[in-house]
Chains A and B, each alone.
Chain A
Amino acid sequence: MKKIWKFRFYYYLALPGLIYFFIFHYIPMGGALIAFKDISPFDGLEGFFDAPWVGLKHFERFTSSVYFYDVIENTIIISGLKILFGFPAPIIFALLLNEVLRMSLKRVMQTISYLPHFISWVVTAGMITALLATSGGLITETINDFTGSNINFLGNKDYFVSILVTSHVWKTIGWSSIIYLAAMSSIDPALYESARIDGANRLQMAWHITLPSISFVIVIMFLFEIGHLLDAGFEQILLLYSPGVYKVADIIDTFVYREGLLALKYSFAAAVGLFKAVIAFVLLYTANKLANKLGQTGLW
């Protein structure tokens, strides 16, 4: 108690954040109960308490869907590919930026790379649609000029996931690199100085000094990514997909959007949300354990 009083100003600083998490992240957890009830969204709180308990009905409905395995598979594949290409990209980008000596050039490159983060997915999807239109689309027409083939990229299962991953990397590479650049700025310059005296070149310094020094940030960011493995990019996919590519593009969130939210089946949507949260927790817990075992800093 004495310690709390002693450090009370730090607690005051933390208070707004704690209140925010309590109100918006902990209290709503009670709402997860609707996954086990049949609620009508229009009955308000009364309906929340009075609605009949239906056990695992909504979970069974989800798992018995013909497309259950499809949407799980698509979610993991799309998310996995986004991690595979999107996770190392900002690290490499940050390493490259770190090597740029002229500050003005570095700042221009940083600013340009951050811009896509501020463009909403609605606008980005419009840009992608325009670039890939078979009539007048810059990319499609250019490919057509060279190869003579006019490909409907957005309607083709072979290309759709690549479009998702590429646009995801484009949109996130700059913004995600900030944290790595920040970590790099805290590396002791004496380490580079010593390495240089020992004859290390830039690549060797990046490999033996920079990367090990920011490895704790990389591990933590990777754990966050694992925790979001089942969030494969709802808005991006919803805005770009169509029936022709459902086979590779329909993910848990788009499935829930069609079946749950638009059809007013909130209990069903909550059940799938809970299912996702449990899987995400297991993944995060396992990854964290693994990180600890490998001697890396984990989340707890």
Chain B
Amino acid sequence: MKKLLSTIFLSLVVSLFTTSLKADGHDFTIFNNSGLLQFDGGGSDPEVLSRVEEHVVKLSGVRPKVIVPSMQDSTEQLNLLLASDTPPDLFQANWDKYSSTLMPLNDLLAKHGEGIMNSVPASSWQYMTDPDGNIMGIPRTAATSPFITWVRQDILDQAGLSMPKTIDDLSAYMAAAQKINPDYKAGTISWWWNGWEQPAYAFGAGFTGGMSENGAFIDATDGRVKPFPLMDGVTDYLHFMNDWHNKGYWYPDNWSKFAEPEVLRTCNIAMWSGWYSRMTIIVPKVESNCPGMKYVRTSIIGPKGYIATTRPGGTNSYVINKKAKNPEAIMKYLNWMWNDKSIEGYATGVNGIEGEHWSYETKGIPGVVNTKDKAETKYVGDFGLPLFPYEGNMQPNDSLWAKHFNYLGAELTYLDDSTLPFDLYMAWDKGRIADEVPSLGDIHRMIAENFTAFYTGERSIDEYDAFLSELDDAGMQDWINAMTRQMQESWN
């Protein structure tokens, strides 16, 4: 009840706030939950922000107003805003989850979105179309390989080893690393998303052949879509994870919460197989603590193929609220932001005023820009909307960020050394699956909890069949039916 009352109260507050935004002459509102502002809690200086806004209006021809996420969980804030009387016009979301509140974009894109259409890879649009052919969003990302394993060249050199190519090589690398320094560990993240997917995306495919975005595969024996725990080879994967745990290779905190920057700062992470940006954003900032430390990307093969699974672009997208009063202005703004001929819009949105906050090193696509520290410019990027892989077109002339942008531009979409899932270009309606499987949350919790217990040996892998029976009791067959039905509809 307390939560309900709080929700209604916050909705009222948010309504009042957004009402005042509408009244002050802006064309539309952006809820910038793109992630760009996630680490800039201090926000922009109001005076600077106001000048950037005027600059944006001058260049784009429209006047957006930005709402910066202020709650720890921007999803919760987005939901509250959408439930208010004056919801944001533009925001980032999985369109399948929010489809009832969104506007199809076909006509708008045809009229004002030529630059966007050219900027976004053709394959990414496949996730954006509903069964009626409506384009429901502008894809935030594309098919990528974000779970690649990284090892350290300095440790390889010290141990006299060549680059690992197989799971066995990787085990030998970890053994050699711990001989050099017993504190060297392997890092991953286990509590993101549903709490079990990230290590499975990083290693599972090597033992099972790979799983889909929903953590599923097609069972060749009956043609049905089934969840990852039912794949052949899953117990081999679990034995591998448990074996590494018993040998002390895994960083123990992988299985609970930890602060990745602080852990990487210790210089003791010899191998990383979690989300890629820890290597491309955090490591450049902390590596001065660790002279000689150099992470390199690997291509590891397991018994059934590359160990990493390609991540589909999915339905994460920039979407327009069906209640938006001025959708044409929104599309004009987005076409300026992600234009195929100039990075002016994106560079302005992210960095501020050209000449004052940033300058061109080289113009064009891609362009190289000289940027200043955000603490100096006092503008944190409120008007910027990152779009992958478009953001790789703006390459900062800054060694701290160069690695990240080079990676975005070239390596993140390199899919030849990861396993492609069967649904790479299929858009799941996850909202519908959740409606059809009321116990889906229970099932995800059961997998997360038990996989962690299997990794750490708290539950014996000999009990795996009992675990599958528990999943059955929790409604796994409903999940199989819902996924199979949706795949058949999609492929028909």
Does B associate with A?
yes
* Partner-B contacts on A (CB < 8 A): 24-25, 28, 31-32, 34, 40-42, 44, 61, 64-67, 122, 126, 129-130, 133-136, 150-152, 154-156, 231, 239-247, 250, 253, 255-256, 258-259, 261-264, 266, 269-270, 273-274, 276-277
Nearest residue, chain B, Cβ from A150: B252
Q: Which chain A residues border B456 with CB–CB below 8 Å?
A: 155, 244
A255-B76 Cα distance, complex, nearest whole Å: 15
Known: A134-B252, A258-B441, A273-B3. A243 touches B449 (CB 8 A): yes
- Chain A nearest CB from B398 CB (Å) reads 28
Contact (Cβ within 8 A) B442 A66: yes
- Chain B nearest CB from A2 CB (Å) reads 37
- Chain A nearest CB from B438 CB (Å) reads 5
Known: A66-B473, A129-B257, A273-B4. A264 touches B266 (CB 8 A): no
The 5 closest A-B pairs by CB, nearest first: A155-B256, A243-B448, A277-B1, A152-B252, A154-B256
A294-B327 Cα distance, complex, nearest whole Å: 67
Contact (Cβ within 8 A) B3 A253: yes
* Partner-A contacts on B (CB < 8 A): 1-5, 7-9, 72-73, 75-76, 79, 82-83, 85, 87, 97-98, 100-101, 183, 185, 190-191, 195-196, 251-253, 255-259, 262-263, 266, 268, 431, 434, 438-439, 441-442, 445-446, 448-449, 451-453, 456, 458, 473-474
Contact (Cβ within 8 A) A122 B256: no
A240-B256 Cα distance, complex, nearest whole Å: 8
Choose among A126, A244, A259, A270 the residue that contacts B452 (Cβ–Cβ < 8 A): A244
A259-B438 Cα distance, complex, nearest whole Å: 9
A sample of 17 inter-chain contacts (CB < 8 A) reads: A28-B5, A41-B83, A42-B82, A42-B83, A65-B439, A66-B473, A67-B445, A133-B263, A136-B266, A151-B252, A152-B252, A155-B452, A155-B456, A239-B257, A242-B255, A243-B452, A269-B4
Contact (Cβ within 8 A) A154 B253: yes
Known: A133-B262, A134-B251. A242 touches B101 (CB 8 A): no
Q: Which chain A residues border B190 with CB–CB below 8 Å?
A: 242-244
A61-B475 Cα distance, complex, nearest whole Å: 13
Contact (Cβ within 8 A) B255 A40: no
Known: A66-B474, A243-B196, A246-B449. A133 touches B439 (CB 8 A): no
- Chain A nearest CB from B289 CB (Å) reads 11
Contact (Cβ within 8 A) A259 B441: yes
Instruction: Give the most central of A42, A61, A136: most B CB within 10 Å.
Output: A42
A241-B195 Cα distance, complex, nearest whole Å: 11
Q: Which chain B residues border A259 with CB–CB below 8 Å?
A: 441
